[in-house]
Amino acid sequence: MRSVVSLVAFLLPVLAALPASAETYPSRPVKLIVPFGAGGPADIYARVLAQHLGEETKQAFVVEDRPGAGSVIGTDAVAKAAPDGYTLLVMSNTHTTNESLLPNKPFQLMRDFVPVATVNYSDLVMVVPTSLPVKSVQEFIDLAKKEPGQLNYASSGPGTPYHMAGELFKAMASVNVVHIPYKASGEARSAVLAGQVQMMFDAVTTMMPLAQAGKVRALGTTGATRSALTPDLPTIAEIVPGYEATIWLGVMAPRGTPKDVIGFLNGAINKVIELPEVKQVWLKQGAVPLVKTPEAFDAFLRQDIEKWAKVVKLSGAAAH
């Protein structure tokens, strides 16, 4: 009997130190770190996930925005967090771009994180202030060529989909437009609304309501085909053949997070994004649910890193 008691006494601290497992996970609040500003697509959709994941697991999922340095600040915080499933990263193709755009950042995506689940993707829309005397993509190109280096475009920071959409546009349309990075998409948006910058690529989901309200002028969308949300708005590819740039969102966890926790989260997130009420609202906003296994997401990430490395090289883009 004494040996049994001794064994239990030995095992208790060992068991307490073991990582969380899917059987008990989550047993306390989970943080969803969004390394972008409030009001942008990542923030908006992270809150949808948090609400439904909380309902599904009966445990709080808390969204925490930590913008700055083109997503590096918030992302690095997650990279340094305990790999126990209680701190997760809401990420986008900003992260796959930054692998080549910011080689000296303090983390590497595929070394320091593991894929959990994809969330959704959407087109971007090219907008200008209503005060700018252009009403089409071609007119903007003509003005930019007439006044090289005199027009600016806003983004939420180096490496973000908004930045890379602009750099790809510059390269493919052969125009010289100056990149003005802001700390968050909300600040960039405000600059366009105020006429402080002459153009921005922004998510259809967040910018189209402002365009429809007449606060900015939408010139074109960035998908390969016209958006179902804006069928009368031409794609940029109709003017600049081959142009395509979208934004997608996903969730990753620190490297070392238990596989059963990753599997649990993947299943829970996929269940949320396939809920009819979630899909219907997202599709009306121009966002398409994106369901992948962790393994498929891993392959997707590696392909996207390669894709954007080519764009960075093609455009000559550099971090500011």
What percentage of the chain reaches a pLDDT higher than 70?
91
What percentage of the chain reaches a pLDDT higher than 90?
73
d(CA 147, CA 316): 20
- Please determine whether the domains at 13-121+247-315 and 123-238 fall in the same fold group of CATH: yes
Exposed / middle / buried, residue 265 (Cβ in 10 Å: 0-12, 13-18, 19+): buried
d(CA 292, CA 302): 14
CATH homologous superfamily of domain 123-238?
Periplasmic binding protein-like II (3.40.190.10)
DSSP-derived secondary structure for 122-157: EEEEEEEETTSS--SHHHHHHHHHHSTTT-EEEESS
Q: Which tens digits make up the pLDDT trace of 127-168?
A: 999 999 999 999 999 999 999 999 999 998 888 889 999 999
Q: Residue 21's pLDDT is what?
A: 52
d(CA 40, CA 207): 10
Q: Residue 205's pLDDT is what?
A: 82
CATH homologous superfamily of domain 13-121+247-315?
Bordetella uptake gene, domain 1 (3.40.190.150)
pLDDT, mean of residues 45-63? 97
Q: Residue 17's pLDDT is what?
A: 45
Domain ranges of the chain: 13-121+247-315, 123-238
Cis peptide before 26 (omega within 30 of 0): yes
